Structure 1
Amino acid sequence: MTVEEAGPADAAEVIALWQAAGLTRPWNDPAADFARSLDAADSAVLVARDGTALIGSVMVGYDGHRGWVYYLAVAPDRRRQGLGRTLMAAAEAWLRARGCPKIQLMVRTGNAKALAFYERLGLAAQDAVTLGRFLDPKES
């Protein structure tokens, strides 16, 4: 297995993986998210491959204050094999290489399996509330 940065040609396969993993939502355009990540200097989509098969991905970014992790996905038939842990380690290494001091991510309320996974990796709930709104009215 290898982990590397995705390129534009990986878009369809990565998005299909995100959809298979249940990570996409109607109000977020995964193709736009993927493209923005590749276009930005301080973000990337890392992909795990077994030969030529894409089996996992994670989007990572650094805003100058914190590192953020999004779209951690493992192919449904490859779960419970340590791949999620490997992808998180790759995301952390990517952030450390850029001098990032802290990593954060968001988990949807009620996703007990994801919360338990991240807790096993040493992440803990932070004393903060995430607030947001769409800047483009057509996206709401």
Structure 2
Amino acid sequence: MLIRPFREEDTETVVALWETCGLTRPWNDPRRDIARKLRVQRELFLVGVDGAGDQDPLIATAMAGYDGHRGWVYYVAVAPDHQGERLGAQLMAEAERLLLELGCPKINIQIRSGNDRVIGFYEHLGFTPDGALGFGKRLIAD
């Protein structure tokens, strides 16, 4: 898999992948999430393509960010027919490398309750529960 930065022409393929992987929710517009990310640290929005060429099919994504205190990773997705090939681990390793280059001391992730398969994936990568409870407040309605 070739990992490269997201490009605007990837938008519809990325949204379709997120929908296939069950990452979208009715209250979040994924296209707006993409547009927001492109305004801030766009180089931390990664896609994986199946092969070594830029035009090969897009099969994976990871969206990372660093606020000066903690790094965050969202929208980690791998096409179902490529899951189990360690592509998600490759994307996370690249996100970690980029965040570390920025001086990021810790990465946080959020996992929806009951998503045991994803919990296992992150545990395998060395993530552990940190005892924090995630809260959210919407400032802009999608």
Range of TM-score over shorter length: over 0.9
Q: Report SS of the residue matched to 1:90.
A: helix
1:12 aligns to 2:12 (yes or no): yes
Structure 1 runs (4+) deviating above 3 angstroms are none
- Does the Cα contact within 8 Å between 1:15 and 1:31 map onto a contact in 2? yes
The residue identity in structure 2 corresponding to 1:94 is L
TM-score by length of 1: 0.94
Evaluate the alpha carbon distance shift between residue 36 and residue 43 of structure 1 in structure 2; reply closer, same or farther with a 3 A threshold: farther
Taking only the aligned residue pairs, the percentage that are identical comes to: 48
Aligned to 1:37: 37
* 1:134–1:43 distance in 2 versus 1, CA, 3 Å: farther
Cα distance, 1:43 vs structure 2:
6.1
Q: Distance in 2 between matches of 1:26 and 1:83?
A: 27
Give 1:44 shift: 2.7
- Work out the CA distance in 2 between the residues paired with 1:76 and 1:3: 18
Q: State the alpha-carbon separation in 1 of the partners of residues 3 and 116 from structure 2.
A: 27
Shift of 1:42: 6.7
Question: What TM-score do you get using the length of structure 2 for normalisation?
Answer: 0.92
Shift of 1:79: 0.5
Q: Which amino acid aligns with 1:97?
A: E
Q: 1:95 aligns with which of 95, 99, 117?
A: 99
Q: Pick closer, same or farther for the CA change 1:90–1:47 going to 2, 3 Å.
A: same
Question: What is the CA–CA distance in structure 2 between the aligned matches of 1:56 and 1:111, rounded to whole Å?
Answer: 19
Q: Which residue of the partner structure matches residue 132 of structure 2?
A: 128
Two-structure CA RMSD over aligned residues (Å): 1.3
- AA in 2 matched with 1:33: D
**Corresponding residue of 2:70:** 66
**Contact 1:55-1:78 at 8 Å conserved across structures:** yes
How many residues in Structure 1 have an aligned counterpart in Structure 2? Answer: 138
> 1:65-84 alignment to 2 at 5 Å?
65-84=69-88
Please give the per-residue CA displacement for 1:99-129, whole angstroms capped at 9, x wherever unaligned.
1111010000000000011001100001111
2:60 touches 2:76 (CA, 8 Å); kept in 1? yes
Do 1:37 and 1:43's aligned partners in 2 also have CA atoms closer than 8 Å?
A: no
